[in-house]
Chain A
Amino acid sequence: MEEKEKTAKNENKEGETAVSPLSLHNIYKDIHISVKTLDRIIAVLAALLILALVIGLNNRGFLIEYDARGGTPVEAQKKMYGEKIDMQIPEREGYVFEGWSAYPDCTVLWDENTEISGSMKLYACWIED
């Protein structure tokens, strides 16, 4: 702890004596770590990355959520890349279902033939009957 404070003080002193804006300085300058330790850290991080990749690959699928917005609820679906949504039509009293849209304001309706390329939420678009 003490040593850390010392380092910080030294840095301040350097900052004061310098003429230029020393908010920009080498961020690794005061790092005291051996290359060997760093190598181990890199190895651990690489292992974690590989683990994350494996977990990701074992839980594949994009979640397609539906917000019926007052209509009969539609269950979320899990779809793979390139698949299409299972078109489901909710019902709502006094309204006609126009279609699903990725935008809450229904600016563009979702074309059921569009291939899925990621998780998304679709909003029901209604027109008053």
Chain B
Amino acid sequence: MNKKIDRKKILDLILNNAMYIIIALVVIYVAIKRPKFLGVASIINILSLTAAKLPIALGIAGCIVLAGTDISAGRIVGLSSVITASLLTNVSKIWPQLTQALPIPLVLLIVIAVGALIGFVNGFSVAEFSLHPYIVTLSTQLITYGIILLYMQGGTNNGMSLSGMIEPYKELITGTLFKIGTVSVPMYVLYALIFTVIIWFIWNKTVFGKNMFAVGSNPTAAEVSGVNVKKTIIMVFMLAGVMYAITGFFDAARIGSATAATGQNYESDAISACVIGGVSFVGGTGKISGVLVGVLLLQVIFTGLNFLSVSANMLYIIKGLIILIACAIDMRKYLTKK
């Protein structure tokens, strides 16, 4: 009897952690094949990329806690990125009348406002019209992409990629925070950490955060106990929009240019990171530490596969399977609890 229970426990442990086991195996394999993978430069590269993708994942995590999702995230990142690149340059083709870059804080405020506005549209439609977030954010994803394409056609730009941003802005985002040996850690790693702390505080220490979890686990019960469900939903989507805008603001400097394709498919990585990190589609469950681990693990596996020259085509299939497995494990946890 005991043996049977033990076997079941071990099986449970293996299945619930199947994703982590596979990722660990891949890391070991990559490290054996390419020892450079565990070198300082590579580790800092992984940490920097994790930091770059953290804000968007933290935003989406809130929507998933509500038992929703947000697939407009990547395009909001893209829009924020192109707005940033077009305003923080001394020779803006989109705004030819602009002979000098706008002040950096003003541009940050503009993109945050744009992100919050799209987030508001998402949240308002979900809360007021009871539309499923998937449908709402699918439509805003398309609308935002259309806006990006139109914006890129503005002035004399004709849809060309935007680059040549001012140095103070690039320095602010990609400047050296500190150096380990000869490898520098960029400034945006620090910003990503600050945002993680802020979101952790919002989730765990504010009434809004507690309401978000309450609405996520049972909207009806939340409403009965006096939570303004609609307001909470709108605010979660707006906060998410702000986080996407910040990701875009970093990305223009991090990549060094912005195109209409910037941010494309970012949401798929962010959603998979959240689910791997234990933010459940059931709603009302999730931790910031989980999101952090999820983003990091995904980055480790993809950087590792990139190190081994696995083509991007195959990575799409691998990413898709990772999402499916993460969902199946998430469902399993729910069913076994029930």
Q: Which residues of A contact B (CB under 8 A)?
A: 15, 18-28, 31, 33, 35, 38-39, 41-43, 45-46, 48-50, 52-53, 55-57, 59-63, 79-81, 103-105, 107-108, 117-119
For the complex, what is the distance from the CA of A45 to the CA of B160, rounded to whole Å?
Answer: 41
A24 touches B68 (CB 8 A): yes
B335 touches A38 (CB 8 A): yes
Residues 186-227 of chain B: 1 if any A CB is under 8 Å from the residue's CB, otherwise 0? Answer: 000000000000000000000000000001100110111000
Q: Which applies to chain A's interface (DSSP): helix, strand, loop or mixed? A: loop
| Nearest chain A residue, comparing its CB with the CB of B11 | A39
B270 at the interface (CB under 8 A from A): no
For the complex, what is the distance from the CA of A58 to the CA of B26, rounded to whole Å?
Answer: 14
Give every chain B residue within 8 A of A20 (Cβ-Cβ): 215, 219-220, 222-223, 229
Give every chain B residue within 8 A of A118 (Cβ-Cβ): 306, 312
Give every chain A residue within 8 A of B313 (Cβ-Cβ): 119
B215 touches A56 (CB 8 A): no
B15 touches A42 (CB 8 A): yes
For the complex, what is the distance from the CA of A95 to the CA of B240, rounded to whole Å?
Answer: 49
A56 touches B229 (CB 8 A): no
B307 touches A81 (CB 8 A): yes
A45 touches B324 (CB 8 A): yes
Q: Given that A49-B325, A107-B161 are contacting pairs, would A59 and B314 also be in contact in the complex, using a CB cutoff of 8 Å?
A: yes
B219 touches A59 (CB 8 A): no
For the complex, what is the distance from the CA of A105 to the CA of B324, rounded to whole Å?
Answer: 38
A22 to chain B, nearest CB (A): 6
For the complex, what is the distance from the CA of A26 to the CA of B219, rounded to whole Å?
Answer: 10
| Nearest chain B residue, comparing its CB with the CB of A41 | B328
For the complex, what is the distance from the CA of A119 to the CA of B322, rounded to whole Å?
Answer: 22
For the complex, what is the distance from the CA of A103 to the CA of B184, rounded to whole Å?
Answer: 27
Give every chain A residue within 8 A of B315 (Cβ-Cβ): 56
Give every chain A residue within 8 A of B138 (Cβ-Cβ): none
B180 at the interface (CB under 8 A from A): no
Among B259-315, those with CB < 8 Å from A are: 259, 281-283, 305-315
A60 touches B329 (CB 8 A): no
B318 at the interface (CB under 8 A from A): yes
B257 touches A107 (CB 8 A): yes
B67 touches A33 (CB 8 A): no
B59 at the interface (CB under 8 A from A): no
B328 touches A63 (CB 8 A): no
Among B227-252, those with CB < 8 Å from A are: 229-230, 233
For the complex, what is the distance from the CA of A21 to the CA of B130, rounded to whole Å?
Answer: 5
Residues 112-139 of chain B: 1 if any A CB is under 8 Å from the residue's CB, otherwise 0? Answer: 0000000000000011101111000000
A46 touches B67 (CB 8 A): no
A26 touches B67 (CB 8 A): yes
Q: 29 interchain pairs (CB within 8 A)? A: A15-B130, A18-B220, A19-B223, A19-B224, A20-B219, A23-B68, A23-B131, A23-B132, A24-B68, A24-B133, A25-B283, A38-B328, A38-B332, A39-B15, A43-B15, A49-B318, A49-B322, A49-B325, A52-B317, A52-B321, A59-B311, A60-B308, A62-B311, A81-B306, A81-B308, A103-B161, A105-B160, A105-B161, A107-B257
Give every chain B residue within 8 A of A35 (Cβ-Cβ): 332, 335-336
Give every chain B residue within 8 A of A60 (Cβ-Cβ): 308-311
